[in-house]
Amino acid sequence: MNRAFNFSAGPAVLPLEVLEESREAVFNYNNTGMSIMEMSHRSKDYDALFKEAQADCLKIMGLSQDEYYVLFLGGGASLQFLMIPFNFLKTQADYISTGVWAKKAIKEAKWVGKTNIVGSSEDANFNYIPDTFNFTPDADYVHITTNNTIYGTEWKNNIPDTGNIPLFADMSSDMFAMHRDWSKYDLIYAGAQKNIGPAGVTMVVIKKSLLDKKKENVPTMLDYKIHVDNESLYNTPPCFPVYVVGRTFKWILKHGLDSIQANNEKKAGLLYDYMDANADFYKPTVKNVRDRSLMNVCWNLQTPELEAKFIADAKAKYNMTNLKGHRSVGGVRASIYNACPNEWVEALVKFMGEFMKENK
């Protein structure tokens, strides 16, 4: 098959071998004579793969099943914006505002209670990660967004120390892009469709002890404890997406997070280094090297017309797709998630050289 160079921000590229395994499972899962989509979510076969996906997730993170629980839920990362405050915002919560998704999380928290913005980069159109915060000593939790998909900024190992305040993170667009000290977090969530699978499932990793702090009277489907008590099968889970996420976890385990992170650094480095060396033509929107995302690389050219030509030429010449920046910021964006092969980025850099020569 001739794969397109797909730089989509999400739903996004998946490992080819995961697609091949999924194709097989769609017709005949594990020689059961049934499609993965035709099986009861309470059957022995399905239950085994579901539990394995949960276990593999914690294995990648080096967390113990005694301390943490993995949920696979519907509703996207966007529903987590609301579930979190419904369960845990009792008096007030601290949020760091680093982009559109962070702001959407803040908007939902406001339905529930007092929401403090304790750090923000909105003053510079979110093109950096802030580093001074005034945490509220008795805040119920602090919420951050580790990778800002639209602006191309990312928290690396500079995650703030929140002391005794539980730390929650939206990792939708850089889940398993790099090593993190996962044990620092009380709750991590990620819509699968950026870096770990197809759309339709959201992974939530929750510290079991956090459930003791849950509010009373949470509506059933929004209640983390009900989902945990029912082993993430309170209702029918997104069966097929969970299968694909499980295969992606196997792929991560096979390669190891070390090598995945090293590859991500290499790929992003190719693009940023090339642009820094040709800064009169290609202008990365994030200037601070520390804050540059490994997953979403954003840049501008001299004019919007030249950007449109760049995007059109890349498509016409090499079938490079989805390079258009998010509609709210414009410019060019290459999303180069874990499954994006190094060769795709090398091809993109080569095209950038050709385009500059022709249009400078």
Ligand X SMILES: *Cc1c(COP(=O)(O)O)cnc(C)c1O
Residue 13 interacting with ligand X (CB under 6 A) = no
Provide the 8-state DSSP code for 161.
Answer: P
Candidates 194, 227, 247, 333: give the one binding ligand X (CB under 6 A). 194
d(CA 31, CA 12): 29
* Interacting residue with ligand X among 191, 197, 237, 238 (CB under 6 A): 191
Q: Of residues 78, 136, 261, 300, which one binds ligand X by CB under 6 A?
A: 78
Whether 223 is catalytic: no
> What sections of the chain are H helices per DSSP?
16-27, 44-61, 76-88, 100-112, 224-229, 239-255, 257-277, 304-318, 342-359
Our CA angle for 339, 25, 192, nearest 5°, is 40
Binding status of residue 333 toward ligand X by CB under 6 A: no
How many residues form the binding site for ligand X (CB under 6 A)? 12
248: tokens are 């992606």
Catalytic residue among 170, 174, 186, 291: 170
Whole-number Cα distances in Å, 290 to 99, 125, 198, 245: 17, 17, 29, 30
Tokens 């092969």 correspond to: 341
Tell whether residue 154 is a contact of ligand X (CB under 6 A): no
Among 145, 248, 264, 335, binds ligand X (CB under 6 A): 145
Q: Does 155 engage in binding with ligand X (CB under 6 A)?
A: no
Which one of residues 68, 72, 95, 101 is an interface residue with ligand X (CB under 6 A)? Answer: 101
Angle between helices 257-277 and 239-255 (to 10 degrees): 80
Using the rule CB under 6 A, is 198 a contact of ligand X? no
Least distance to ligand X from the beta carbon of 194, Å? 6
Q: How far apart are CA 83 and CA 86, in angstroms?
A: 5
List, in sequence order, the alpha helices (H) in 205-279. Answer: 224-229, 239-255, 257-277
- Confirm or reject binding of residue 149 to ligand X (CB under 6 A): yes
Residue 320 makes contact with ligand X by CB under 6 A? no
- Concerning whether 170 is annotated as a catalytic residue, the answer is yes
Is 292 one of the binding residues for ligand X (CB under 6 A)? no
Q: Considering only residues 170, 223, 291, 307, which one is a binding residue for ligand X as defined by CB under 6 A?
A: 170
Report, as residue numbers or ranges, the catalytic residues. 101, 170, 194
Q: Which residues of this chain interact with ligand X, rule CB under 6 A?
A: 10, 76-78, 101, 145, 149, 170, 172-173, 191, 194
